[in-house]
Structure 1
Amino acid sequence: MNAPQAPAHSSVAASPAEPVQKPAGNPKRKKALTILASVVVVAGLGWTVYEYLVASHYEATDNAYVQGNVIQITPQMGGTVVAIMADDTDFVKAGQPLVQLDPADAKVALAQAEAALAQAVRQVRTLYANNGSLSAQVALREADVAKANSDIARAADDLKRRQSLTGNGAVSKEELNHTQTQLDNARSALAAAKAGVLAAREQLASNQSLTEGTSVEQHPSVLVAAAKVREAFLTQERTALTAPVDGYVARRTVQLGQRVAAGAPLMSVVPLKQVWVDANFKEVQLRNIRIGQPATLVADVYGKKVKYTGAVAGLGVGTGAAFSLLPAQNATGNWIKVVQRVPVRITLDEKQLAEHPLRIGLSMNAEVNISRQDGTTLADAPRDAAQAHSQAFAEKSDAANDDVQRIIAANLGKTRLAATAALH
């Protein structure tokens, strides 16, 4: 029998443990991340440089709107509307009639004032004419005084002669008394003549005080009547409401036949050649904004293809909330801070406005170049000229003066006209 065999042992010895290999990295991903990081760093540096060199020199806002003068057309007197000569969107010239009120009452008042002026001129002419007649009265009274003196001298001589004859009985006592009476009457006549001279001189002085140092045209009575004519003339002219400036009609509310009161708004005239922009900057943006700095503006209606150039004309003296109808009451328990805005007025170039007209209330984007800091934040000198002026009403005053001169000349008389022409 064979002996049992021993179990066979593996002839292969166990090999030592080998390290686990890590998967190889993705070079493309690493490169992409590196590039992205580089781009972010470069972009950050570029933005920092741009902010320091460019963006920090500008302040911009999209809270900007076109503003302009909205001129209300209001009557200076009440009346009934009989004609309307302009409507919304119409272009009107300065002095052009817009609304006509019924002029009947004004014409009657003007006729009365013209008649009163004519009467005043003739009454003043009478005062000047009375100077001559009163001077003649003074001369006549002075002649009466001379005659009375002569009568006294003659009566005194008669009385003296008769007194010398009373001793021999040549003159009776009755005749002597009669001569004495004549002397007394002559003396009374002298006193009356002197009183007449005094009264005549007082009347002359009184009349001369009404005419001294002035002419018929400049006499106070004539000037008062002339002022009444001018007032009535202007009242009649004001029944026609005219445009004070060139512009476009807006917000017409008046209707034909309407009875309007003085001061009632009938329509508005907007001069679109005189518009500006109110850019409402945040309070933190106002540090470096100065008057006179250049500005660039873009209107939403035209887009970025049209750019307007302007300049800062002034900064508001208060925030919009401070001048609102209901100002904010910040002294309350529940308070939330809100960044305030201040309107900055920016003027526009008239040539650009003519090429691309704007309208009141349009939205604008405003950008102010704040590089120049030599200006001020508040105006330091008063305006040296009128902000707005109209010559549309000057013609009415000239026409009123012409009407007054016509009436005076018609009632002055040929003699007075010749004297006036000789003085001038």
Structure 2
Amino acid sequence: MKYHPIDKSLFIKNRAKFTAQMKPNSIAVFNSNDIYPVSADSTLPFAQHRDIFYLSGVDQEESILVLFPDAMDPKHREILFVRETNEHIAIWEGEKLSKESAFETSGIKTVYWLSDFDKVFYGLMIEAEKIYFNTNEHYRQAEETETREARFIKKCKQDFPAHSWERSNPILQRIRGVKEQEELDLMQQACDLTNKGFRRILEFVKPGVMEYEIEAEFLHEFVRNRSKGFAYTPIIASGYNACVLHYIENNQECKDGDLLLLDVGAEYANYASDMTRTIPVSGRFTDRQKAVYNAVLRVKNEATKMLVPGTLWAEYHKEVGKIMTSELLGLGLIDKADVQNENPDWPAYKKYFMHGTSHHIGLDTHDYGALKTPMVENMVFTVEPGIYIPEENMGIRLEDDVIIQANGEPFNLMRDIPIEVEEIEELMNK
């Protein structure tokens, strides 16, 4: 891995939080992701399943974590299975985890080779009454590929039909949504890399530059600072492209007079950052661009103040809608009649601001986390209002990542990334 080692104490704490919520005499299993083929002998770069990483720190393929707090043999209460390595594998593929390095990474003392899994697991299932399956229940999930986890669940149900099963995901939603300090520090590092990339492109952007050239500048800055690259597919959208919410082609020329929307975030140690900034290609905002930009900024600042313990996510979005309505009225984009006659299910402001304002962020860009219960300390949310005016060839979105704090003042992980009009113009015209 490019990133610095993470102290195993984080993963020890994470496992303790999970097992504390397991039912008696139950076992939980977590699998690594597959390496996915492209064609011939080509594969996509490996990306670890975030749940096994969260609970063990193991960041390689063909690994399995087993948690069985009530196992008769104490050494089997936490078990890590990793692919057996040897000199041949080391030469052809590079270094893999040994049993010793697996312990140093995870804090799990009992480490077996993956080839021993079936035998050991059968013995454990004889003791257990329930098994926790790790299904994907994220509200945005749309899986079509059969994962390694899904194959395991299918086989386990066939091999052990008399066992009852539970769901790991509700536990993970609760505990992964509230970050430990070590996680917040890693997220700060990811945000700091994003800051470096953004400051770099402020000096690079000018009329005639291609969107993909800007993408390359970000990537170079991220990778040279120990990141694997982007936390998600970047959006580098100039002119009208900024009005396409998930524009990812990044293949157009940036033209004089246009705005450039940058929805970009670095990952660090599998933790995500998620930033959006909108800048003038020429280095100067027009008066109209500045007016819309500052309206979005005011909405973002007011929305951020509401991210405090006790806030309900759904009610928060309604309040942000009211603030956005006021700004759109001030810009002349909607009028009082539009508001008076609006459809409650699709308010008038949605014509120009059609997406949500905030989502959890952490190991995933759209991270696990409770959405129907009040916000609590150490949850991390994005704040990302936008105004999109296709008829004016303009889309503006601004986004920061903030921590919910006990004192009621959210902590902005992107506080050092330029956002005010004057600072952006100054840096682009140095």
TM-score tier, shorter chain, comes to: under 0.3
- Name the one with the larger helix percent: 1
Give the TM-score of the pair, scaled to structure 2.
0.17
Work out which structure has the larger RCO, using CA pairs closer than 8 Å and 6 or more positions apart in sequence.
1
Q: Which has the larger radius of gyration?
A: 1
Give the TM-score of the pair, scaled to structure 1.
0.18
